[in-house]
């Protein structure tokens, strides 16, 4: 199949449902970001974050 035709074909029902869900989550995240700020939005969308702080270590030359 031609790559253009593949990319431009219509989504099947399962894919369309997943896309709609992802778009709605994006809209919800943006609304929360604008009303509550970055920290609250991150907490809301990443409730099971295991590491509160990630520290980068530099290796000696």
SS3 29: helix
Give 1-51 pLDDT, tens digit per residue. 888 888 889 989 999 999 999 999 999 999 999 999 988 888 887 777 655
Q: Is 37 left (phi over 0), alpha (psi -120 to 50) or beta?
A: left
SS3 28: helix
pLDDT of residue 43: 84
Report yes or no: 35 and 28 within 8 Å, Cβ to Cβ. Answer: no
Q: Say how far apart CA 55 and CA 8 lie, in whole Å.
A: 43
Q: Is the pTM of this model over 0.85?
A: no
């Amino acid at each position: 199949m031609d790559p253009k035709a593949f990319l431009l074909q219509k989504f099947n029902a399962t894919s369309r449902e997943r896309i709609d869900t992802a778009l709605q989550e994006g809209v919800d995240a943006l609304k929360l970001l604008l009303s509550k700020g970055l920290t609250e939005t991150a907490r809301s969308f990443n409730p099971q974050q295991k590491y509160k702080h990630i520290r980068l270590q530099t290796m000696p030359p």
